Amino acid sequence: MDYRPTSGPCGGPGIPDAHGRRASYLRVSVTDRCNLRCAYCTPAASFCPKPHQEILTYEEILAVVTQAVAMGVRKVRLTGGEPLVRRGLETLVEKIAALPGLLDLCLTTNGVLLADRAKALADAGLKRINVSLDSLDAETFARITGRDALDSVLSGLEAAEAAGLSPTKINVVPLAGINAREAPDFARLTLEKPVAVRFIELMPVGPAASRNRVAGVDTQTIRRAVEDALGPLSPIPGHDLLDGPAERFALAGAKGEVGFITPVTGHPCPSCNRLRLTADGKLRPCLLSDAETDIRSVLRSGGSERDIQQALAAAVAAKPAAGPRNQGVLSGCARVMHSIGG
């Protein structure tokens, strides 16, 4: 089989699956450790990181990413856990950024350690950054994350802008009775700054799958709250390979944009172009399905570049047409989000 990038029914580059889609976007979790304990993602009571020897080294991550890019992956996102808690991330960024054919390299972070790292990351070749920030209120921030660190995150956002990591995206997961009322405050940020605020529906993964812990708020409710407070949201047309799955809008006169990501009330599967590499070396073709391909054993048994490509091709070939959510089974999966990479 020839694993070089090809184009097909869905057009564009990427690794083909069995349903006419192409995986052109690889999300790489560089660690399962995190410096926050968000109630819906990494609650302190159940946080159980893997032993270090089970986590891929940077050399192993680079070996997988190199072959993925050779096969047509065009966008790589580094995530975690919290990627900035892993030492030396800039060296990995520099090596991935140098791969020929890669169009976009970005990072998802909670922003707590970003202020001191933004410039070095940009210098290493990082193009853009997503900062997860669920509240602009210090008390609510601490309630959700278990840490009084809102000021550090806001400094991180400023440092990212100053370092040219733009447009910065701010990811918000609205939670009923906790931060959902802040939706207009987040949208208001886009009037003054060229940021992209993304409201993401809470997915039934890990602690978020347990109904008595936290409940998400659906996109229509959030959109209505934003429009009632700030006026109509006009759609931003167009979508390309590098855009995420968000439906994008802008308020009148805004410098930035507001987006909605609807994994729960929408139908993301037919256009899914993602493949995930977990920190412990599993390829995961669907966020909500626990089917995984073990690429760590390929790497640690002296696998060749060809073997790595074969593992990548097999993982993408096994990508389901629709995840459990689209089959009507709105249930959680065995892994928690901080170990998958979100």
110 binds ligand SAM (CB under 6 A): yes
Taking the complex as a whole, the smallest distance from the CB of residue 125 to ligand SAM amounts, in Å, to 19
Closest CB to ligand SAM among residues 118, 208: 208
* Rounded distance between C-alpha atoms, residue 212 and residue 225, angstroms: 24
* Rounded distance between C-alpha atoms, residue 274 and residue 312, angstroms: 12
| Burial bucket for residue 329 (CB in 10 Å: 0-12, 13-18, 19+) | exposed
How many residues touch ligand SAM under the rule CB under 6 A: the total is: 20
200 binds ligand SAM (CB under 6 A): yes
* Rounded distance between C-alpha atoms, residue 170 and residue 149, angstroms: 16
Contacts of 143 (CB under 8 A, 6+ apart): 39, 135, 178
173 binds ligand SAM (CB under 6 A): yes
Closest CB to ligand SAM among residues 34, 124: 34
Closest CB to ligand SAM among residues 173, 226: 173
| Burial bucket for residue 306 (CB in 10 Å: 0-12, 13-18, 19+) | exposed
Q: Which stretch in 44-52, 105-113, 290-298, 322-330 sits in contact with ligand SAM by CB under 6 A?
A: 105-113
122 binds ligand SAM (CB under 6 A): no
* Rounded distance between C-alpha atoms, residue 91 and residue 28, angstroms: 15
* Rounded distance between C-alpha atoms, residue 313 and residue 309, angstroms: 6
202 binds ligand SAM (CB under 6 A): yes
* Rounded distance between C-alpha atoms, residue 331 and residue 237, angstroms: 33
- Strands 233-235 and 247-251 turn out to be antiparallel
293 binds ligand SAM (CB under 6 A): no
205 binds ligand SAM (CB under 6 A): yes
What are φ and ψ of residue 168, in 5° steps? -75, 140
40 binds ligand SAM (CB under 6 A): yes
The CB-nearest residue to ligand SAM is: 342
CA distance readout (Å), 319 to 66, 141, 180, 270 = 21, 36, 33, 11
Q: Which stretch in 74-82, 95-103, 232-240, 271-279 sits in contact with ligand SAM by CB under 6 A?
A: 74-82
Taking the complex as a whole, the smallest distance from the CB of residue 8 to ligand SAM amounts, in Å, to 30
203 binds ligand SAM (CB under 6 A): yes
342 binds ligand SAM (CB under 6 A): yes
108 binds ligand SAM (CB under 6 A): yes
* Contact positions vs ligand SAM (CB under 6 A): 34, 40-41, 79-80, 82, 108-110, 132, 171, 173, 200, 202-203, 205, 208, 337-338, 342
